[in-house]
C-alpha cells in the first residue's frame, strides 16, 4: 500500500491512523481451559462453575488438551510459528469477576509466534496483515451492574473459559481495514472450527489499539520498526462487531486529533466505545495503577510438545478461504469475484459446495451468490436461517438441467421456495409449471403464428433479430412453459433462417 488509504484533515494538516488489534476468540471447547466445568454460553448464573473457577482455597488448574490443539490449529491457519515450548504466566490484578486475583495467560512465551493473513477489502484490493502472536488465556466472569443500585452481581460462568488472544501488528491504516481484518480472522477461525466466531455472544471480541500520526511517520516506523515514530495509542476494549471496530477507529482517531490540534497530549489508557453516542470514554477503574506483576504460574509446568503433534494437526487442517478461493477460480472456472463471495465464510462455501456437487459449478455459483444471497439479504436473514436448503436449491438446478422448467420459470419457483420452504418439484407440480417440450404442441402454435402474421414473417427474414417477437408470442401462449431452446430451433427451421 503505497498511499495511506485513510486521511483525516485537521486544521494543522493531515493525520493518518495506525491500528493494531487484539482479538479474543473463545476456543470452541466443551470444557474450560483449566477446569472441567462447561464452557457453554447462556446457563443460569454460577452454574457452569467449578471450585477451581471460583478460586476456592487449594484449587489447582489442569490444562485442557483440546484447547492447546485449537491454539496450534489456529496458529497453523495464520501461517504462524508454533512454539514447541511455551509457558503460562499470572497477570495479577484485583477485580470481582477475576476470582483468583490473577488471570492465567501467556506473557513472555506464547504458544504461537509471528504469522500473517491476507485481508480482502471492500474495493477488491488485498492487504497483508502481520500477526504478532497468539496465546491462550482464561476469560473472566461477568459483572452485572444494573440489578442493584448499590451492588454489583457477579456470575462466574465465563470465568476460566479458554480464549485465544490473537494480536496483530499495527498494520491497519483505516476503519475499513480494521473491520475487514476482523472479518477475515473470523472467517479463518470458523473454517478451522477453533472458534464459533459469534460476536453477539462474545465468542469473539476485539481490543482496538488506535494512534494517529502525520503522513510519513508510519513509513519511518516501518523502515526500522521504531515505535517512537508513532503516536501514543489508546486501547478501546471489548468491541463486539466489525461495524463497531470501524466506528471505534474512526471516533477515537477524531478524538485524538482534536486533542493534539489543541496542543494537548494523548494519555496511554484503556477506553470504552459508547456505540450510542459514537464516542469513546476512559475506563478509569481498570486504569488505576496497573502493574500486572507477571510471573510464571507455579501451579503449571511449561507447555511442551513435539513437532510430530503439530504435523499431525496440520494434516487435519481444512482448506482455508484463500486456498478455496484459488481453487474455485482455477478448477471450477468461477470468476474471482464470485469465488471471493462464496468463500468469505465457511458456511457460504459449504453451502455452495453442497449445491455444486455433481452440477454445473457456474450455474450453482450463480444461484447461490445471486439469487439466494440476494433473497437472504433482502429478507435480512442469515444463511443459517435460509428457508431453502442445499438439497432444494440443487434440485431446482436439476429441474433446469433436465428441461423440466426454464431458467425464467425457475426464478419464480425459487421465489416460492424462499417464501414457503417447499420443494421445487412440488411447486412445479402444484402450479403446473412443467415446461412444454412436446415439439408437436409447439409446432402447432408456430404454424398458426406464421400463418396469421405474414408481415412479421417478411420482416424476420430481413432482420433475424426480430425472431424475438415470435419467441415472445410462443411464450405468451404457453404461459412461459415452452422450452426456449426448442422454440428457437423450431422457429428457425420453419422460417428458414
Task: Map the footprint of other proteins across residues 125-154, applying CB under 8 A.
Answer: 143-145, 147-154
Instruction: Give the residue, chosen from 24, 90, 346, 348, that forms a contact with other proteins under the rule CB under 8 A.
Output: 90
The residue to which cell 417440450 is assigned: 437
Counting contacts by CB under 8 A, is residue 72 touching other proteins?
A: no
Nearer to other proteins by Cβ, of 272 and 471: the residue is 272
Candidate ranges 8-16, 61-69, 225-233, 446-454; the one touching other proteins (CB under 8 A):
61-69
Distances, alpha carbon 292 to alpha carbons 176, 283, 417, in Å: 33, 17, 58
Candidate ranges 4-12, 18-26, 57-65, 433-441; the one touching other proteins (CB under 8 A):
57-65
Nearer to other proteins by Cβ, of 45 and 480: the residue is 45
Counting contacts by CB under 8 A, is residue 202 touching other proteins?
A: no
Counting contacts by CB under 8 A, is residue 268 touching other proteins?
A: no
Distance CA 435, CA 486 (A): 11
Q: Are 461 and 448 in contact, with CB atoms under 8 Å apart?
A: no
Nearer to other proteins by Cβ, of 153 and 469: the residue is 153
The CA R_g of the chain, rounded to the nearest whole Å, is 30
Q: How far is the CB of 156 from other proteins (least distance, A)?
A: 7
> Using CB under 8 A, which residues numbered 4 to 33 contact other proteins?
29-31
Counting contacts by CB under 8 A, is residue 94 touching other proteins?
A: yes
Counting contacts by CB under 8 A, is residue 102 touching other proteins?
A: yes
Q: How far is the CB of 417 from other proteins (least distance, A)?
A: 40
Distance CA 51, CA 31 (A): 14
> Using CB under 8 A, which residues numbered 147 to 186 contact other proteins?
147-156
Name, in order, each residue with C-beta under 8 angstroms of 277's C-beta and a sequence gap of 6 or more.
Answer: none
Candidate ranges 36-44, 211-219, 354-362, 376-384; the one touching other proteins (CB under 8 A):
36-44
Counting contacts by CB under 8 A, is residue 46 touching other proteins?
A: yes
Nearer to other proteins by Cβ, of 111 and 413: the residue is 111
- Residue 119 class from Cβ within 10 Å (0-12 exposed, 13-18 middle, 19+ buried)? buried
Q: Are 490 and 470 in contact, with CB atoms under 8 Å apart?
A: no
> Using CB under 8 A, which residues numbered 277 to 316 contact other proteins?
283, 285-286, 288-289, 291, 293-296, 298-305
Counting contacts by CB under 8 A, is residue 55 touching other proteins?
A: yes
Q: How many residues does the chain have?
A: 497
> What residues does 86 pair with on adjacent strands?
303
Instruction: Give the residue, chosen from 68, 413, 445, 487, that forms a contact with other proteins under the rule CB under 8 A.
Output: 68
Number of residues that bind other proteins (CB under 8 A): 74
Alpha carbons within 13 angstroms on the beta-carbon side of residue 132 total 16
Q: Are 197 and 166 in contact, with CB atoms under 8 Å apart?
A: no
Q: How far is the CB of 313 from other proteins (least distance, A)?
A: 14
Instruction: Give the residue, chosen from 81, 92, 275, 437, that forms a contact with other proteins under the rule CB under 8 A.
Output: 92
- Relative to beta strand 295-296, strand 89-92 is antiparallel
Distance CA 65, CA 135 (A): 14
C-alpha cell at 342: 462464496
Phi and psi at residue 188, in whole multiples of 5°?
A: -65, -45
Element (H or E) spanning 307, and its range?
A: helix 307-315
Counting contacts by CB under 8 A, is residue 430 touching other proteins?
A: no
Nearer to other proteins by Cβ, of 221 and 294: the residue is 294
Nearer to other proteins by Cβ, of 9 and 298: the residue is 298
Q: Are 141 and 147 in contact, with CB atoms under 8 Å apart?
A: no
Q: How far is the CB of 282 from other proteins (least distance, A)?
A: 10
Nearer to other proteins by Cβ, of 98 and 217: the residue is 98
Counting contacts by CB under 8 A, is residue 56 touching other proteins?
A: yes
Q: How far is the CB of 242 from other proteins (least distance, A)?
A: 24
Distance CA 132, CA 109 (A): 12
Give the three-state DSSP class for 221.
helix
C-alpha cell at 291: 502493574
Counting contacts by CB under 8 A, is residue 406 touching other proteins?
A: no
Q: How far is the CB of 385 from other proteins (least distance, A)?
A: 28
- Residue 219 class from Cβ within 10 Å (0-12 exposed, 13-18 middle, 19+ buried)? exposed
Q: Are 68 and 111 in contact, with CB atoms under 8 Å apart?
A: yes
Instruction: Give the residue, chosen from 4, 24, 26, 48, that forms a contact with other proteins under the rule CB under 8 A.
Output: 48
Candidate ranges 45-53, 124-132, 350-358, 406-414; the one touching other proteins (CB under 8 A):
45-53
C-alpha cell at 460: 424476420
Q: How far is the CB of 302 from other proteins (least distance, A)?
A: 6
Q: How far is the CB of 311 from other proteins (least distance, A)?
A: 18
Amino acid at each position: 500500500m503505497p498511499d495511506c488509504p485513510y486521511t483525516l484533515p485537521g486544521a494543522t494538516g493531515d493525520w493518518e491512523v495506525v491500528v493494531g488489534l487484539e482479538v479474543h476468540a473463545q476456543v470452541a471447547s466443551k470444557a474450560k481451559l483449566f477446569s472441567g466445568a462447561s464452557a457453554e454460553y447462556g446457563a443460569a448464573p454460577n452454574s457452569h462453575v467449578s471450585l477451581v473457577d471460583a478460586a476456592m482455597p487449594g484449587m489447582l488448574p489442569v490444562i485442557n488438551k483440546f484447547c492447546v490443539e485449537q491454539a496450534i490449529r489456529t496458529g497453523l491457519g495464520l501461517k504462524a510459528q508454533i512454539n514447541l515450548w511455551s509457558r503460562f504466566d499470572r497477570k495479577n490484578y484485583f477485580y470481582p469477576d477475576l476470582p483468583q486475583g490473577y488471570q492465567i495467560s501467556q506473557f513472555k512465551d506464547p504458544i504461537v509466534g509471528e504469522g500473517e493473513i491476507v485481508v480482502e477489502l471492500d474495493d477488491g484490493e488485498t492487504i497483508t496483515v502481520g500477526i504478532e502472536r497468539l496465546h491462550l488465556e482464561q476469560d473472566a466472569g461477568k459483572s452485572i451492574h444494573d440489578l442493584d443500585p448499590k451492588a454489583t452481581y457477579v456470575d462466574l460462568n465465563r470465568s476460566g473459559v479458554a480464549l485465544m488472544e490473537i494480536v496483530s501488528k499495527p498494520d491497519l491504516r483505516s476503519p475499513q481495514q480494521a473491520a475487514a481484518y476482523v472479518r477475515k480472522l473470523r472467517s479463518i477461525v470458523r473454517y478451522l472450527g477453533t472458534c464459533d466466531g459469534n460476536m453477539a455472544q462474545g465468542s469473539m471480541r476485539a481490543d482496538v489499539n488506535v494512534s494517529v500520526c502525520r503522513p510519513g511517520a508510519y513509513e519511518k516506523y516501518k523502515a526500522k520498526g521504531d515505535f517512537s515514530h508513532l503516536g501514543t495509542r489508546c486501547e478501546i476494549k471489548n468491541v463486539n462487531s466489525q461495524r463497531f471496530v470501524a466506528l471505534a477507529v474512526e471516533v477515537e482517531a477524531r478524538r485524538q486529533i482534536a486533542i493534539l490540534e489543541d496542543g494537548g497530549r494523548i494519555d496511554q489508557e484503556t477506553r470504552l466505545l459508547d456505540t450510542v453516542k459514537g464516542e469513546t470514554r476512559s475506563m478509569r477503574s481498570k486504569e488505576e495503577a496497573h502493574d500486572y506483576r507477571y510471573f510464571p504460574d507455579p501451579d503449571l509446568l511449561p507447555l511442551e510438545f513435539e513437532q510430530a503433534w503439530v504435523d499431525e494437526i496440520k494434516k487435519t487442517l481444512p482448506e482455508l478461504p484463500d486456498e478455496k478461493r484459488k481453487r474455485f477460480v482455477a478448477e471450477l472456472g468461477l470468476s474471482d469475484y464470485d469465488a471471493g463471495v462464496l468463500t468469505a465464510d465457511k458456511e457460504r462455501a459449504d453451502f455452495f459446495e453442497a449445491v455444486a456437487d455433481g452440477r454445473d459449478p457456474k450455474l450453482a455459483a450463480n444461484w447461490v451468490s445471486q439469487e439466494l444471497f440476494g433473497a437472504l439479504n433482502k429478507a435480512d436473514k442469515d444463511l443459517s436461517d435460509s428457508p431453502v436448503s442445499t438439497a432444494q436449491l440443487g434440485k431446482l438446478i436439476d429441474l433446469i438441467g433436465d428441461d423440466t422448467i426454464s431458467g425464467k420459470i425457475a426464478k419464480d419457483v425459487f421465489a416460492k421456495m424462499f417464501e414457503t420452504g417447499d420443494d421445487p418439484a412440488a411447486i412445479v407440480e402444484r402450479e403446473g409449471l412443467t415446461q412444454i417440450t412436446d415439439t408437436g404442441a409447439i409446432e402447432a402454435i408456430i404454424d398458426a403464428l406464421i400463418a396469421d402474421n405474414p408481415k412479421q414473417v417478411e420482416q424476420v427474414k430481413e432482420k433475424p433479430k426480430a425472431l424475438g417477437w415470435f419467441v415472445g408470442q410462443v411464450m405468451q401462449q404457453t404461459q412461459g412453459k415452452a422450452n426456449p431452446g426448442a422454440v428457437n430451433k423450431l422457429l428457425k427451421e420453419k422460417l428458414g433462417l
